Structure 1
Amino acid sequence: MAGKRKKKARTREESLALPSRWRLQHGGFSEPVREADPETGAPVLHRRAIDTLGLMLANGTITQEMHDAGGCFRVLFRRAALDGMVRASLLRLPGRTADALSERAMDARRRVAEALDALGGHDSAAGSCAWHVLGLEMSVREWATRQGWGGRPVSPPQAQGMLVATLGVLAGHFGLVPRTRAA
């Protein structure tokens, strides 16, 4: 037994120039873009996380109005603080500031509820898609396999079609496309 050596455990160091393995499992990245830091002038590599709506717009799957409607819903969702993340202001001013923020959040919640009503309610396919894909920023594939509609998984191509339909309705709801009158 004296002749046996203990094997040293090798730890593989990750390159700090690349996204971590944990981050890569949550979605892809674009190719790095080399730019100069605006403050220091030092060269830096920027990697952009891939945006579902941006990809769909670039592929011609959705229109600019649909892309903007998804962005409007996402902004309202964040403003309404429906994403489950607890936020606290680092600078607290006494008086009206806290009241204005809560009014702003309540207005955003009202507008999100109106948008979900336009989609057929929270329990509809479009409502579920808007909540999870646009609001919580899940990937379409993740929503389709984990959440789906009514707790049932949906195939990814059908889920993408549901997202396109959801964006079309939201574009009309937010007034980004002209409404046509039925004859």
Structure 2
Amino acid sequence: MAAKRKKKIRVRQESLGTPSKWRLQHGDFTEAVREADPETGAPVLHRRAIDTLGMMLANGTITQEMHDAGGCFRALFRRALLDGMVRSPLVRLPGKSADALSERTIDARRRVADALDALGGHDSAAGSCAWHVVGLEMSVREWAMRQGWGGRPVSPPQAQGMLVATLAVLAGHFGLVPRRTAA
């Protein structure tokens, strides 16, 4: 009998020099910039993920104050540990429980709650938009179609308008725009 040859199956591997298909479906990237690694001097390609608020600022959809207010809310959200990422401290302090929150985290949670109150509460359209789009960094389109407001999908143009209004209120809340007084 003649020996049968096994057919080689070629698996197409993704290039490690480009973002994976999974990562690309979650947002665009800028063109790669070739630079040298500061520590080793080896050439590397840097790609930057495109930020929704950064894109809106570049397009003129929002003002610098609105962009800064979104950045402030996002920083507070991360500091408050509300982004759903489980973290474990690298250094354990004796006598401390693993569930104890730091004063910094508690203060950040209070400030996030105050900002959500200024937006009409967590269940309001602006509160939901701030939580999901600004805090959790979900895309506007993804939030509009998946989460929306009150469990109902929202059209993407309406969702973008909701985000602009949310950022305007946050800019006022964080004191980034001067308050007008009645004359």
Query: Is 1:163–2:153 an aligned residue pair?
Result: no
**Residue deviations 1:127-156, cap 9 Å, x none?**
000000011110000000000010000010
- Paired position in structure 2 for 1:29: 29
Q: Which amino acid aligns with 1:37?
A: D
- Paired position in structure 1 for 2:18: 18
Q: How does 1:20-59 map to 2 (within 5 A)?
A: 20-59=20-59
**Per the alignment, in what secondary structure is the counterpart of residue 35 of structure 1?**
strand
Unaligned runs of 5+ in 1: none
Unaligned runs of 5+ in 2: none
TM-score calculated relative to the size of structure 2: 0.91
- Paired position in structure 2 for 1:146: 146
Note the C-alpha offset of 1:9. 2.9
**Residue deviations 1:96-141, cap 9 Å, x none?**
8x89952111111100000000001111100000000011110000
- Paired position in structure 1 for 2:118: 118
After superposing the two structures, state which structure 1 stretch, 77-86 or 150-159, moved more: 77-86
Using the aligned pairs only, state the percent identity.
87
Tell me, in whole angstroms, the C-alpha distance in 1 between the residues paired with 2:160 and 2:8. Answer: 48
TM-score calculated relative to the size of structure 1: 0.91
Note the C-alpha offset of 1:53. 0.4
After superposing the two structures, state which structure 1 stretch, 99-108 or 173-182, moved more: 99-108
Note the C-alpha offset of 1:88. 1.1
Q: Which amino acid aligns with 1:170?
A: L
The size of the alignment, in residue pairs, is: 181
**Per the alignment, in what secondary structure is the counterpart of residue 102 of structure 2?**
helix
CA root-mean-square deviation: 2.2
